[in-house]
Amino acid sequence: LYTAPDSCEGRCGEPYSREDECYCNAECERYHNCCEDYYRHCREEGFSSSRDAITDEDLLHISEQLYKADHNKARPTDIAINPQYQASPDETGDQEDRSPQPLYKYVNEELFAKPTYASFIKLLDNYQKATGREEDVTAEELREQDNFLKEVMKTELMKKLFAFLHKKNRYSSEQEFVADLKEMWFGLYSRGNGEQDSSGFEHVFSGEVKKGKVSGFHNWIRFYLLEKQGIINYFSHNFNGPWDTYPDVLGLQFSWDGFYKEVGSAFIGSSPEFEFGLYTLCFIARPGRACHLSLGGYNLSIQTYTWTKSTYGDGKKYIATAYVIS
């Protein structure tokens, strides 16, 4: 199902990009830079045929569709942020608090009563933030995962994403898609010494602490809730996206319980299904590479990485991380 950077599976006819390790279009034969499995995958019909490739144009088009379908996003009046100090690239590692006020001046918490928000927030306290500690997943937590997936799949945004991936031959049914979402996002693997201590969802949305630093943690709702409790201290930002409505993008520096995050990019004001959907799209279409999208006419790129040390199912990869390139 996944497009490995060094394979042509699902990439036949994909346009040239300097970021690629090897190539899968007709030109690669002339330049002698085809992936090793080019002839096996790209000279036969099926999943890997050129009509199933997810092109750069496809990504720009589907991302605009998902952007328009984010009906649960915050309205401009729902959130007021106070970004304060903008750090230069050589200041982001200083660990200096240059912003005396919190980042969030106001959030309309009625947003959190919406089903996708409520089910998302229930997941956030299911994890131990330190890597190297085994995660004990209870029956209640498994139900919370299923409920979140059920709620996001009711949205137009996730239905559009499934329709796109179905058309591209990645999934034969919505049931198969949901089962795979559960594995790729919530399946446990080890970032430590063999303990089942991490998952894509924990890393990206809830955040982790590894080797004394904040790792992952790319979600505005999680940030707001912890800042409100006094557990997060906002230091500065290094990037503020061009959007004049939500979702926006911020690259930010902060301390979480005394642990520092040098650059933590996040969508601001997006619904949980918007982030979940965009990251899933990019993980399936461009794992390990920059995934170039368009939101409201502005370009934006998402970087994902696969977890390479363990797999599920028939050799499928877990999500290691996903974030907006700021």
Q: Give residue-wise pLDDT tens across range 233-284.
A: 999 999 999 999 999 999 999 999 999 999 999 999 999 999 999 999 999 9
Residue 165 has pLDDT above 90, yes or no: yes
Going by C-alpha positions, the residue among 72, 52, 84 that lies closest to residue 118 is 72
Tokens of 53: 């490739």
- 42 pLDDT band (50/70/90 cuts)? confident
Spot the catalytic one: 41, 218, 292, 317. 218
- 29 pLDDT band (50/70/90 cuts)? low
Spot the catalytic one: 73, 129, 168, 203. 203
The answer to whether residue 25 is domain-embedded is yes
| 238-249 pLDDT tens trace | 999 999 999 999
Catalytic annotation on 71?
no
Q: What is the mean pLDDT of the chain?
A: 92
Total domains, the chain: 2
Catalytic annotation on 261?
yes
The answer to whether residue 198 is domain-embedded is yes
If asked whether residues 14 and 117 sit together in one domain, one would say no
If asked whether residues 28 and 138 sit together in one domain, one would say no
If asked whether residues 257 and 294 sit together in one domain, one would say yes
Contacts of 282 (CB under 8 A, 6+ apart): 59, 291, 293, 302, 303, 304, 322
If asked whether residues 248 and 135 sit together in one domain, one would say yes
If asked whether residues 257 and 156 sit together in one domain, one would say yes
Q: Is 219 helix (H, G, I), strand (E, B) or coil?
A: strand
Catalytic annotation on 41?
no
Domain that residue 7 falls in: 1-43
pLDDT, average across residues 83-110: 97
If asked whether residues 38 and 157 sit together in one domain, one would say no
The answer to whether residue 171 is domain-embedded is yes
If asked whether residues 71 and 188 sit together in one domain, one would say yes
If asked whether residues 186 and 217 sit together in one domain, one would say yes
If asked whether residues 19 and 74 sit together in one domain, one would say no
The answer to whether residue 22 is domain-embedded is yes
The answer to whether residue 48 is domain-embedded is no
If asked whether residues 37 and 167 sit together in one domain, one would say no
If asked whether residues 109 and 33 sit together in one domain, one would say no
The answer to whether residue 210 is domain-embedded is yes
Residue whose pair of structure tokens reads 């144009």 in the numeric block: 57
Residue 48 has pLDDT above 80, yes or no: no
The answer to whether residue 49 is domain-embedded is no
The answer to whether residue 269 is domain-embedded is yes
Using an 8 Å Cβ cutoff, are 217 and 231 in contact?
A: no
Q: What is the CATH number of the domain that holds 38?
A: 4.10.410.20
Going by C-alpha positions, the residue among 272, 283, 277, 267 that lies closest to residue 322 is 283
Q: Is 75 helix (H, G, I), strand (E, B) or coil?
A: coil
Describe the strand order of the beta sheet including 316-324 as a list of residue ranges: 290-295, 298-312, 316-324
If asked whether residues 257 and 149 sit together in one domain, one would say yes
| 110-119 pLDDT tens trace | 999 999 999 9
